Homo-oligomer: A and B are copies of this chain.
Amino acid sequence: MKLIVKEYDLDSSEPAVIIHDDDCIRLGVKVHDRVRINSGDVWVSLVGNSDTIVEKGQILIPNIYLKRYNLKDGDEVDVAHSPKPDSVIYIRKKMDNKTLTKEEIYAVVNDILEAKLSNIEVSAWLTSLYINGMDLDEISHFTNAMVDTGDRIVFERQPVFDFHSVGGVPGNKVTPIVVSIVAAAGLMLPKTSSRAISSACGTSDFVETFCDVELSAERVKEISEEIGAVFAWGGSMNLAPVDDIVIKVENPLGINPRAQMLASIMSKKVAIGATHLLVDIPMGAGTKIPTMDVARAYVRDFTDLGHKLGMHVECAITYADQPVGQAVGPILEARECIRVLEGDNHPGSVVEKACALAGMILEMGGIPNGADKAKELLESGAALKKFREVVAAQGGNYDIKSSDLVPGQYTQDVVATKAGFVHSIDNKSIVQIARAAGSPSDKGAGLLIFKKRGQRVEKGDVIMRIHADNEAKGIRAKELALRYAPIHIEGMLIEKG
């Protein structure tokens, strides 16, 4: 049946076209059916008899599908009913806790990317993965399927080092420091990072306060091969793009199934051609990895999967039962990160973590006494120089100083209501407070933690300062801070008896 294309710009996160009810009857399709448009397949999740939204003889197609199928407003297209793809059967097979073949996994990944599967089906897929899981062979196929449905970057310069932090700990601004140290040692580490989804601030969220992170694949290759490093936002390249679709379904459910998580991370690394990968596994109460047993299972997963994928993978289990350093939020974290590169030894937790991780990568690259060498490159200013080269290559100011970064002007102090020692800091509450202040979309928003675990606090001491770009958000964040009281203070009991 011939219909006239009308562009439609509704962001529904569901691949959907809209057809007039009368035309649906003639086509024999109803809500949740799929229609085939010319040679391609598009899922119809919306069909309606709206006079205001669609007219008879029209088909409303979202912009992104117009691009994909090389269509434009006013084109005449041939529309027909399309049967369910076989991938629905493979999703059912995973529900029944069966092992999927390589071909079946590729079919599911391909159909998610090509919008042949609806949110309902992707949700069932993720729920099945969450409950029934995948074995390592399946995860390896899954990873490769995600790589093969996107672009790759092929570097002339080899080997390609990479670094990934599993995330979950607020204030983790070590990435640009680690990368700068590694590049200063002469190794190449083309780092792609993400933006925050539910966390307070992703690496790209704070790096973009001082340089551009949306780089093309060509530019990532050029900068990395010339300078040895890059701090790019992974989302600006087409690496394992199916991940972006899946994340939109994971978020409302609040799940990140192990198989999906491993395949998502490793597919980005394979796509960028990583030969050596260090995975930082932050472990601590209130994070994704609460115990040493869970952390060790992650280590096994990453190293075994790396082996299957032909990549040398090492893991570092790091402590994450409180935020890393003092600062949480884009400008605040950027400032703390650059201060460390400038030679500030405070906060020690940031310096220690960055040097330990960079040191492991140096040793993977054949440089002995990695941690000492990393410290040396940081203290000599070699890492800062490398950092500035990358910033300049990404359109930032080579002469950037930490003092250039000014956090939100509206501040709210939280004071201790009693004296004692900081017993623990609740990561989840810290994230909520920083987000209430406006982080990560308000670049100046966030918070500074002045007292960390084990430190002595006197009644009336400022233990936390909230920064905001907007006064109302600052006040709301402080209300949350008083309600959550995330910094727990207790008397230190040496002996009981």
Contacts and interface: CB of A to CB of B under 8 A. Distances in A.
A119 B97 CA distance: 23
Given A11-B48, A45-B14, A124 B121 contact: no
Contacts of A249: 120
Contacts of A95: 127, 130-131, 255
Contact of A88 (B126, B131, B254): B254
A56 to B, nearest CB: 14
Interface residues of A, number: 47
A401 interface: no
B121 A252 contact: yes
A312 interface: no
A317 to B, nearest CB: 24
A108 B52 CA distance: 34
Contact of A10 (B46, B92, B128, B248): B46
A123 B119 contact: yes
A173 to B, nearest CB: 25
Nearest to A118: B252
B252 A88 contact: yes
A49 B18 CA distance: 17
Contact of A124 (B32, B84, B127): B127
Contacts of A130: 95
A399 to B, nearest CB: 34
A253 interface: yes
Interface in A90-111: 91-92, 95, 97
Nearest to A53: B10
Interface string A13-50: 11010100100000000011000000000000111111
Q: How many copies of the chain does the oligomer comprise?
A: 2
A372 to B, nearest CB: 45
A443 B46 CA distance: 27
A252 B124 CA distance: 10
A46 B12 contact: yes
A253 B88 CA distance: 7
A129 to B, nearest CB: 10
Nearest to A47: B11
A323 B251 CA distance: 45
Given A95-B127, A95-B131, A127-B128, A120 B252 contact: yes
A50 B8 contact: yes
A119 B49 CA distance: 21
A156 interface: no
Contacts of A48: 9-12
Interface in A247-272: 248-249, 251-255
A132 interface: yes
A48 B11 CA distance: 5
Given A10-B46, A131-B131, 19 more contacts: A9-B51, A10-B48, A10-B50, A11-B47, A12-B45, A13-B31, A32-B248, A88-B252, A97-B131, A118-B119, A118-B252, A119-B119, A119-B120, A119-B123, A120-B123, A120-B253, A123-B127, A124-B127, A127-B127
3 nearest A-B residue pairs (beta carbon): A10-B48, A123-B123, A127-B127
